[in-house]
Chains A and B, each alone.
Chain A
């Protein structure tokens, strides 16, 4: 019994199923099942893949983003690593049952953890000289054949778009080459890998693909960049499928979708404007918010930037210089939800922001959850955490050009798994780990 899971970060159903020519994927859809895959909230790479691999939601994992609070201090933000995932991943459970696994590039995969098989870490690897493989000797084995491990696209914030595109292709090409090598040279029954190439393409080039993007250029210097990359990606998928015996089950999944980015809500500027956040002095330039810049004795809330925002309250007895009476927390949360959801674009036009309390989303909220999670403008808007300048709206990302944001639905295409044929509605990312467990005869609830 074998299963090959091909992870494509950020691939949305509109592109994979409708707009892009992907003959290998189409053939797989025709012989199996496919559909939209509902991601988690937030639909962000690290929590999403961790949830897919464990079948647990961000609250159960205590992973709400790339960085998570480790305590109630103002500084205590720690990067999510493989150690942050306290629940067993599907490959851990399979390995414990004697199934040999190959795991490549699944976030958060650094440091690589011991598995019953081999594992190569993900784009969160600090550098190419980091110990990114398990067992350690695998690193030399790979480098002898593929050179330096391209764990991610380097120099992403560049105006040299042709150079960026070449590096995106290189990352995808090497990832699939490594997988083809491992699957033919190491024993396995379960193989899973994630390619970050599509995500980097979307964030770097969406404006050239989407005429509705506010920065869609005319004339368009890259009109074919999406069709060509997706055709290339499809050939890479085909090259892996070609190596599989007929009885090997296949699952192609993405962790979330993608859509154009219309702009950014500067969450901390809004909190300042509304009197929730007070700085010691006006920043001279736009810069990231640092704890040392905040007058904590007059601050009730602050937020983080990223594809969505996490908002934290400064609660007396909880935060070091908390000012909010714990009894008043719910009232303040209500005010923030009302204010942010009513906030439209610069012209006041509604944009459809949703702000969640963690307990609405998760039955359990482990670790130190944010007090609120804000999804701006149905994800057509991102969150900018920077302060300075005073504007609540930004049409440029505060960390440089970015074209796309994430969307709540990714894809799945499956063949050989226990799913009805054809289009299957309603599948969630959290259903994937149980689906795989069932395929191998494991107790789903174990």
Chain B
């Protein structure tokens, strides 16, 4: 899962949310956050085009190794250059590019780490979005718009794509357990309830949700209108 986008566009936030969501489905997952990777794996690399490409090449290599061992690798580096991302795609193979689309003005206003301000003051040379270009993906598998979606909406969008494209198994791994059922199990299992529930349901219990996703609601509503149930 290759997140790409401007600084402060929301890559790390979404990568973290996706990591948690996949872990909750009992899937092995590793988040390679851009800043952390730079500090550990790629210490000493700068922000010249060559160094940026090398940064991406190393991240891609680690992601490939993780993927090879069945771990879902989630990367959250700016990865501004299209060519470097395409090379990463070739290296890794099973690759889903997530374009975190957000206007630069919005990113500047967020400026979570104060980097845009420093770049504007000339303290950081070659800063993506200010003094270095960002090349948006031509055909990303997924695009999220973090200026007009909440992080949860973007996450849902990503998960839906992964489900509909067959990367993730749909839904029944997210078994919904109604409250009365847990109460009945508590009654039957007594003091053993917690242990047995954890054993049996760990990783499978999700909070109940009332509403269908909007797209599914529309599908059903269109038919109900045709049938005359609602108008």
Contact = CB atoms under 8 A, between A and B. Distances in A.
Interface stretch (B52-60, B122-130, B221-229): B221-229
A265 B141 CA distance: 49
A104 interface: no
B193 to A, nearest CB: 14
Given A114-B177, A156-B223, A81 B231 contact: no
A84 B210 contact: yes
Interface stretch (B23-31, B92-100, B165-173): B165-173
A385 B171 contact: no
B210 A135 contact: no
Interface stretch (B4-12, B14-22, B211-219): B211-219
A306 B228 contact: yes
Interface string B174-185: 011110110011
A113 B176 contact: yes
B231 A398 contact: yes
B149 interface: no
A65 B216 CA distance: 18
Interface stretch (A125-133, A222-230, A243-251, A429-437): A125-133
A262 interface: no
A307 B229 contact: yes
Interface string A378-390: 0000101110000
B208 interface: yes
Contacts of B177: 114
B112 interface: no
Given A78-B211, A127-B219, A88 B178 contact: yes
A113 B178 contact: yes
A199 to B, nearest CB: 9
Nearest to A112: B172
Given A79-B217, A83-B209, A96 B181 contact: yes
Contacts of A110: 212
B176 to A, nearest CB: 6
Contacts of A195: none
Contacts of A130: 216
A124 B220 contact: yes
Contacts of A125: 220
A99 to B, nearest CB: 13
Nearest to A108: B220
Interface in A15-71: 44-46, 65-67, 70
Given A66-B224, A96-B181, A131-B170, A83 B176 contact: yes
A433 B228 CA distance: 28
A44 B209 CA distance: 24
Contacts of A134: 172
Interface centre among A84, A114, A305 (most CB of B within 10 A): A114
B138 interface: no
Contacts of B208: 83
Nearest to B204: A114
Given A79-B220, A130-B216, A136-B171, A45 B178 contact: no
B180 A92 contact: yes
Interface in A381-403: 382, 384-386, 397-400, 402
A402 B228 contact: yes
Contacts of B209: 83
A200 B111 CA distance: 57
Contacts, number: 104
Contacts of A385: 230-231
A399 B225 contact: yes
B231 A384 contact: yes
A288 interface: yes
Nearest to A134: B172
Interface in B141-155: none
A203 interface: yes
A88 B178 CA distance: 9
Contact of A67 (B176, B210, B215, B230): B230
A269 interface: no
A275 B165 CA distance: 52
A41 to B, nearest CB: 16
Contacts of A88: 178, 180-181
A255 interface: no
Contact of B231 (A45, A83, A306): A306
Contact of A136 (B172, B185, B215): B172
Contact of B228 (A65, A84, A288, A399): A399
A130 B217 CA distance: 12
Given A127-B219, A130-B216, A136-B172, A92 B230 contact: no
Contact of B212 (A45, A46, A79, A92): A79
Given A83-B209, A131-B172, A307 B181 contact: no
22 contacts: A45-B229, A66-B230, A70-B210, A78-B211, A79-B212, A81-B211, A92-B181, A96-B185, A111-B171, A111-B176, A111-B212, A114-B176, A114-B177, A114-B181, A126-B215, A126-B220, A130-B216, A136-B172, A136-B173, A156-B223, A157-B226, A288-B231
Given A84-B210, A136-B169, A203-B228, 9 more contacts: A86-B178, A92-B181, A96-B184, A136-B170, A200-B227, A306-B228, A307-B229, A397-B228, A399-B225
Interface of A: 44-46, 65-67, 70, 78-79, 81, 83-84, 86-88, 92, 96, 110-111, 113-114, 123-127, 130-131, 134-136, 152, 155-157, 200, 203, 288, 304-307, 382, 384-386, 397-400, 402
Q: Which 4 pairs from chain A and chain B are nearest by CB?
A: A136-B172, A305-B231, A126-B216, A131-B171
